[in-house]
């Protein structure tokens, strides 16, 4: 069975929160979820809902096939569709690590297996910002200098407040829907009065460069290996 579960975007985001709550409750030491949207949505941080143009921008976006959903993590609008595979890594860091560098270490744990996969396929993997990318960030995973994966994370305390538990999320562009996704982001930003504009050529989908039919299975193995070593 392929590792990615089909969810509506709304249900996929909820499944991530449910997994975080489960690990916080002590039901397991860690969790790993791959999910692929069965519909489309433009997902953005809750803070944008306070902007004066937000309601109008939501109407414009929905009328063009991209309803707006809010998420708990920060950043900027991110398009989600069947072209995307989401990776949610949930874990409590070993007590020996302490709190210093916890955020960066979590991003490395999410990004390193993806970079290893790209290296195995023969691509040039890197981390960092890409001009013109939507929801750009220091821990984008890039393929040949173009953004392929966007990342975010959220932390909560475990039951009883004994240790922090992190949800580290990656949205991997698997299939090429770059033009439609960029149009959706730019349409929303324009209607909402936001200055940012993004470009299709700043992104790349894995399957544009490599067919890699077993990429998700390989990634699942790499993450399991990483979690087994914690």
Per-residue pLDDT, averaged over 46-75, amounts to: 94
Task: Name the pTM for this structure.
Answer: 0.95
Q: SS in 3 state form for 56-94?
A: HHHHHHHHCCCCEEEECCCCCCEEECCCEEEEEEEECCC
Residue 2 has what pLDDT?
Answer: 54
Is the pLDDT at 51 greater than 50? The verdict is: yes
- The fraction of the chain above a pLDDT of 90, given in percent, is 90
Least confident range from 153-157, 160-164, 190-194, 220-224: namely 160-164
Is the pLDDT at 138 greater than 70? The verdict is: yes
pLDDT: which is higher, 110 or 159: 110
Beta carbons of 90 and 23 less than 8 angstroms apart? yes
The closest of 129, 136, 128, 139 to 87, measured between CA atoms, is 139
The closest of 189, 188, 14, 183 to 86, measured between CA atoms, is 14
CATH number for the domain spanning 99: value is 3.30.930.10
Task: Give the domain extent around 67.
Answer: 5-228
Nearest-angstrom CA–CA distance, 156 and 152: 14
Could you give the 3-state DSSP secondary structure of residue 215?
A: helix
Q: What is the mean pLDDT of the chain?
A: 95
pLDDT digits 0-9 by tens, 22-44: 999 999 989 999 999 999 999 99
Residue 75 has what pLDDT?
Answer: 84
Listed as own residue / partner, the contacts of 207-213 with beta carbons closer than 8 Å and 24 or more positions apart are 207/174, 207/175, 207/176, 208/176, 209/121, 209/123, 209/143, 209/144, 210/121, 210/122, 210/123, 212/117, 212/121
Residue 1 has what pLDDT?
Answer: 41
pLDDT digits 0-9 by tens, 141-150: 999 999 999 9
pLDDT digits 0-9 by tens, 161-185: 889 999 999 999 999 999 999 999 9
Is the pLDDT at 160 greater than 90? The verdict is: no
Beta carbons of 215 and 206 less than 8 angstroms apart? yes
pLDDT digits 0-9 by tens, 84-102: 999 999 999 998 888 889 9
Domain count, the chain: 1
The residues, any chain, with a CB within 8 Å of residue 158's CB and separated by 6 or more, are 23, 24, 25, 26, 92, 164, 165
């Amino acid at each position: 069975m392929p590792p990615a579960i089909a969810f509506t975007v709304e249900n996929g985001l909820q499944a991530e929160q449910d997994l975080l709550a489960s690990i916080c409750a002590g039901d397991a030491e860690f969790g790993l979820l791959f999910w692929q949207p069965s519909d489309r949505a433009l997902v953005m941080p809750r803070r944008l809902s306070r902007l004066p143009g937000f309601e109008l921008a939501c109407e414009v976006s929905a009328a063009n096939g991209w309803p707006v959903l809010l998420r708990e993590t920060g950043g900027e609008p991110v398009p989600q569709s069947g072209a995307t595979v989401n990776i949610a890594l949930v874990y409590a860091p070993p007590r020996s690590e302490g709190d210093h560098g916890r955020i960066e270490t979590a991003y490395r744990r999410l990004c390193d297996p993806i970079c290893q996969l790209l290296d195995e396929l023969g691509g040039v993997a890197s981390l960092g910002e890409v001009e013109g990318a939507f929801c750009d960030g220091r821990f984008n995973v890039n393929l040949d200098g173009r953004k392929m994966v966007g990342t975010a994370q959220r932390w909560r305390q475990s039951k009883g407040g004994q240790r922090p538990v992190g949800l580290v999320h990656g949205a991997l562009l698997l299939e090429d829907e770059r033009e439609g996704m960029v149009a959706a982001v730019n349409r929303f930003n324009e209607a909402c009065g936001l200055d940012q504009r993004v470009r299709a050529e700043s992104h790349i989908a894995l399957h544009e460069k490599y067919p890699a039919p077993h990429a998700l299975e390989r990634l699942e193995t790499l993450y399991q290996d990483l979690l087994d070593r914690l």
